[in-house]
Chain A
């Protein structure tokens, strides 16, 4: 296994344990099943918690209580953050018991395959995410490219769902989603290219160690890239303010209109696991991943270090998810033409600028390595400052151009006399 282009750190660790316990390795197929079950259980449990959290965050922002009655706590203790913990579990059981309705004129095969595919894609993308030094199912030498290419299939299942429902709202939702996801995939990939250049590797574990060796999280020299990545990622997972494919006020529920019961739950689960996926990538690529700050990465990571690393990683990941929820309940939905303008005319050119800045850092690194000197912090921080300045310039453009091309704030419906 060692000389192959795919490593299985978690599997090696389990094999190591089993050699000590029963003196032989676990069969490969069984190992694969174990890994898959672990990832699935993690995603499902995490999604249950996140759905509860999303409802609580939205309730907090809208000055409500949110779910309070199901589960321990309830109304009695007075704090809104303890109630309704089991609400999502109850909802999941309800969805499990519901009938799966396949519309009469729908195309049954793509209709049933779409929810399975969308969740399957996000599970398979999760296989290369490094949660801790020894806790990633596969360490590919093309890790991040694998994640991008596999998750590019998500749009496919949305198109399948939209088309096979045989419903005009579903079809419109599918069309909008295809346009949106194809457009935002491009700035997303260019934003990731910068850190890849600085790390000099595509492997997820490699990117984590490269940040540790540089002594800086890649968000510092590539702040612009991180912002672009985050915005594009929200658009990729179809979350508000970029949820025009399922805009409820105009498209019922877009491509999920015709789905019921567990098939709907699969789409819901996929939305949350995709949120986790993009946040996990951001935590790995821009925020240093599992590397514990102020600690050397040990040659042979101990269990303690791995646990610490996992905690560090999950804090970053869940924080990014929390920010996504915060954004969702703060901004109004973006209009489709604004969305396209933002993606193609604004974020893509800025992503190129980010690539230039990151190449500068990569060149500095290469020069320092060639001269066998320590990397000087001055130029790197200078480039980081340029990156930061560009982000602020971009944000100021939004304010100036309000009501025009790039504005995220929707234009008022009634035009005042001054405007005419």
Chain B
């Protein structure tokens, strides 16, 4: 991986990420987040992990971010996008960022940054990934699916409740 290309892609990730936080316009923040996601996918592709890169685009940029924008469009003030923030919101988010950033810096400082042998250039075959999901990583895989199921059931419960109240009236 050439360093110049890496810095270029890193810029694509970091500059929109800053825009997400600093932009007052909710919709612009959402769009910048998608650009950032695409940059991360580019990094995966450069690391010979095409499957993960495609999943990053499909799941994050194509689904999660779109649902996020969808939710923005359903908010009442969308035609007046400049959202005002209160002092309390700003200080709370600053504190959360500091805690998370400090934690990540600690982890980064603890890592030895060993360089691994470069994976085979053809990338990891998808079949191998699937095999490891169903053998050595079966428990985490099943746990994740359980988590997703719980989210799904939770969403249905929330949606159903509203309907029942409407039915009672």
Chain A contact residues, CB within 8 Å of chain B: 3-6, 107, 109-110, 140-142, 145-146, 148-150, 152-153, 155-156, 159-160, 162-164, 166, 171, 174-175, 178-179, 182, 185, 200, 202
**A107 touching B121, Cβ below 8 Å:** no
Give residues 73-95 of B contacting A (CB, 8 Å). 73-74, 78-79, 81
Among B57-65, B100-108, B141-149, the stretch that binds chain A is B57-65
8 nearest A-B residue pairs (beta carbon): A152-B62, A149-B58, A5-B123, A149-B57, A149-B54, A145-B54, A142-B50, A178-B70
Contact A4 B122 (CB under 8 A): yes
Number of A-B contacts (CB under 8 A): 90
B27 and A156 contacting across the interface, CB-CB below 8 Å: no
* Bound CA–CA A5/B50 (angstroms): 8
Question: Which residues from B are CB-within-8-Å of A166?
Answer: 79
User: Does residue B67 face the partner (Cβ distance < 8 Å to A)?
Assistant: yes
Which of B's residues lie within 8 Å of A, judged by CB?
27-28, 31, 34, 48, 50-51, 54-55, 57-58, 61-63, 65-67, 69-70, 73-74, 78-79, 81, 120-123, 125-127
What's the dominant secondary structure at chain B's contact region? helix
A174 touches B73 (CB 8 A): yes
Q: B48–A182 contact, CB under 8 A?
A: no
Q: Is there contact, CB below 8 Å, between A5 and B48?
A: yes
Q: How far is the CA of A174 from the CA of B70 in the complex (A)?
A: 9
Bound complex: CA A150 to CA B66 (Å): 13
Q: Is the CB of A175 within 8 A of B31?
A: no
Bound-state Cα–Cα, A159 to B66, Å: 8
- B27 lies within 8 A of A182 (CB): no
Q: Which residue of chain A is the closest to B120 with respect to CB atoms?
A: A3
Residues B70 and A163 in contact, CB atoms below 8 Å apart: no
Question: In the complex, what's the smallest C-beta–C-beta distance from B32 to chain A, in angstroms?
Answer: 11
In the complex the two chains form, is B61's CB within 8 Å of A153's CB? yes
Cα A107 to Cα B58 in complex, Å, equals 26
Q: Do B121 and A5 touch (CB < 8 A)?
A: yes
